[in-house]
Structure 1
Amino acid sequence: MLEIRNVYKTFTRKGITIEALKGVSLNVEKGDIFGVIGYSGAGKSTLIRLANYLERPTEGQVLVDGFDLGEYSASELREAKKNIGMIFQHFNLLESKKVFDNVAIPLVLLKKSKEEIRQRVTELLEFVGLSDKAGSYPSELSGGQKQRVGIARALATNPSLLLCDEATSALDPQTTQSILQLLKRINAEYNITVLIITHEMSVIQEICNKVAVMEEGKIIEQGSVLEVFGHPRHQTTQNFVKTVIQNELTASVQQSIKAEHGRRLVKLHFLGESTTEPVLYEMVRAYDIKFNILFANTTEIQEKTLVTMILQFSGESAEIGKALEFLEQHEIGIEEVDANVFDHSNR
């Protein structure tokens, strides 16, 4: 659907060169709700502007449905952009025009008939829940209602790809939730692929099936949301995951931990079916070990369950090793934790 191949983007302003993107590659497949997350300055907004050629890459390719946008003529590019809708952070509505006319703008530019415009705009305003606001001005709407108008306008040309640039960051939590649910409906009912740029991991958790993490113009980690949430590898990704999933020991428990011979501290990640199987019970029956549960947390992601546990194992080293191999065979993610980090008795 959307493929970004080894893209670089460089800006030069007042003699200063800024590398906004450094060899970014991304593959958004048909039907995805793909999230790109990163802190301010990571290159997210530049990336999404390349996706519809509001910016051209310095190097690399941007392909939509297999066609390189860089090889299109100006008229061909305009035609291709009809299949790409864009939702902005600050709505970008014309304050002098009523809601109906704001939604109709793309259709007017395409010189559609008045009847086609009336039918399409009426349909979209009903879809986003704003049928009663067609004659209102943007100044009479709430932030959430303004964003719904922006979404309706983005859908006017029946795009196959919808780009969302921080579409919920200017909204309160309750309104954010309603907009995210609307984006899920768009994806499901209109079969539109969605690319979301955000700095909020809760947005990724709520609706995305895939995620890429950006830092300093590069993608440092990407994969399915379950994989990335369950096994965040990069420190920046771990920091983002911590904002929505508690997966660390409390301070009081850390104070009580001692690094002793015959004890090992292990973080386990259970995903999907493994969360309903009695794996720990079977492990204890099979191996001469004991364990103490120091932490456990359950999170729902993409209608699947992610369980994170931190256990302190005690027993012979060989037996603990066998027990951990047993868990790995049952597709339990294992992450060794250094108990010396928490052992205050040795300081």
Structure 2
Amino acid sequence: MIQLENISKIYRRNGKETQALKNVSLHVNKGDIFGVIGFSGAGKSTLVRMVNFLESPTSGSVLIDGKDLNSFSPKELRQAQKDIGMIFQHFNLLNSKTIYHNVALPLVLAKEKKQVIKDRVMELLRFVGLEDKALNYPNELSGGQKQRIGIARALATNPSILLCDEATSALDPQTTDSILKLLQRINQEYNITIMIITHEMSIIQKICNRVAVMENGEIIEEGDVLDVFGNPQQRATRNFVRTVIPDEVPESALSNFSRTPGSRLFKLKFNETANLAINHVIRHLDVTVNFIYATMNEIKDNSVGYMIIQLVGNSTDVDKAADYLQKEEIKAKELFD
């Protein structure tokens, strides 16, 4: 669907060069809700502007449905861009135009017939729940309503791809949730592939099925959201994941457990394998298991998190229990070893 092959982007201003993207390759499948996350300056907004060729790469190829946009004539490129909608952080609505005319603008520019425009605009306003605001102006709407209008406008030309550049950053958490649910409806009901640019891991958690993590103009990690959340490989990724699944044990939790001689403390991933292993230790080994701390979140109908357990007993039995946990490959990490 979307293929970026070895994309680099260099800006040259006043004799100086700034490399925003460095040899980036990315593949977004049809029907994905694909997240690209990174801190400010990571290059994620530059990356998304490559997809609809608002900016062209210094080197590399952008392919949409297997067609290289680099090879398109200006006319062919304009036609291709109609198939790629985009919504922005600050809505980009025309304050001098009614809501109806804001949504209608892409269709007017495409020189569609008036009745076609009217039918499509009212269909989209009903879809985003703002049919009664057709004759209002943008300054009469809330931030969430403005973004819904921005989404309706982006859908006007029936695109197969929707790009979202920090589309919820200007909204409060409750409004953000409503916009994310709307994007999920768009993905499911219109079968539109969505690419979301964000710096908030909670957005990725709630809506995306795949994610790429960017740092310094490069993709440093990519995969299914559950895999990335469950086993982050890079430091930047771990920092993002910690915002929704804390993996550091609070000092208050550690200070409250008794350091019994011979006891050992382990940090385990919270999953079914770990639960079964702990159950085996409790039932078959002469060891007491104390749960010191746990944190968990729901990712794509799966529980992801960590727990800290203390094994208490004589040293021989505790060692047997520790060996069993490590043999079960549940990635038990001993604390204070």
TM-score (norm 2): 0.92
Contact kept, 8 Å, 1:9 with 1:19, in 2: the verdict is yes
* Partner in structure 2 of residue 86 of structure 1: 86
The CA distance in 2 between the partners of 1:222 and 1:267, in whole Å, is 25
Tell me: CA distance 1:62–1:281, structure 2 relative to 1, closer, same or farther (3 Å): same
Task: Say which is worse superposed, 190-199 or 19-28, in terms of deviation.
Answer: 19-28
Contact kept, 8 Å, 1:257 with 1:339, in 2: the verdict is no
**Secondary structure in 2 aligned to 1:308?**
strand
Task: Say which is worse superposed, 301-310 or 27-36, in terms of deviation.
Answer: 301-310
Instruction: Please say if 1:322 is aligned against 2:296.
Output: no
- 1:100-152 CA deviation, whole Å, 9 max, x = no partner? 11101111111110011010000000000110000011111111111111000
Consecutive unaligned residues of structure 1, counting only runs of 5 or more, are 341-347
Tell me: CA distance 1:28–1:262, structure 2 relative to 1, closer, same or farther (3 Å): farther
* Partner in structure 2 of residue 65 of structure 1: 65
Query: Deviation at 1:224?
Result: 1.2
Which residue identity lines up with residue 182 of structure 1 in the other structure?
Answer: L
* Partner in structure 1 of residue 298 of structure 2: 300
Which residue identity lines up with residue 158 of structure 2 in the other structure?
Answer: N
The CA distance in 2 between the partners of 1:138 and 1:7, in whole Å, is 37
Tell me: CA distance 1:290–1:170, structure 2 relative to 1, closer, same or farther (3 Å): same
* Partner in structure 2 of residue 203 of structure 1: 203
Task: Say which is worse superposed, 280-289 or 104-113, in terms of deviation.
Answer: 280-289
Which residue identity lines up with residue 207 of structure 2 in the other structure?
Answer: I
Consecutive unaligned residues of structure 2, counting only runs of 5 or more, are none
Task: Say which is worse superposed, 235-244 or 37-46, in terms of deviation.
Answer: 235-244
**Secondary structure in 1 aligned to 2:57?**
coil
Contact kept, 8 Å, 1:287 with 1:322, in 2: the verdict is no
Which residue identity lines up with residue 216 of structure 2 in the other structure?
Answer: E
The CA distance in 1 between the partners of 2:310 and 2:58, in whole Å, is 52
Contact kept, 8 Å, 2:254 with 2:292, in 1: the verdict is no
RMSD of aligned Cα (Å): 2.2
Percent identical = 56
- The 5 A counterparts of 1:151-170 are 151-170=151-170
Query: Deviation at 1:318?
Result: 5.8
Task: Say which is worse superposed, 12-21 or 150-159, in terms of deviation.
Answer: 12-21
* Partner in structure 2 of residue 232 of structure 1: 232
Query: Deviation at 1:264?
Result: 4.8
- The 5 A counterparts of 1:146-225 are 146-225=146-225
**Secondary structure in 2 aligned to 1:232?**
coil
Query: Deviation at 1:301?
Result: 1.3
The CA distance in 2 between the partners of 1:299 and 1:320, in whole Å, is 26
Tell me: CA distance 1:335–1:91, structure 2 relative to 1, closer, same or farther (3 Å): farther
Query: Deviation at 1:322?
Result: 3.0
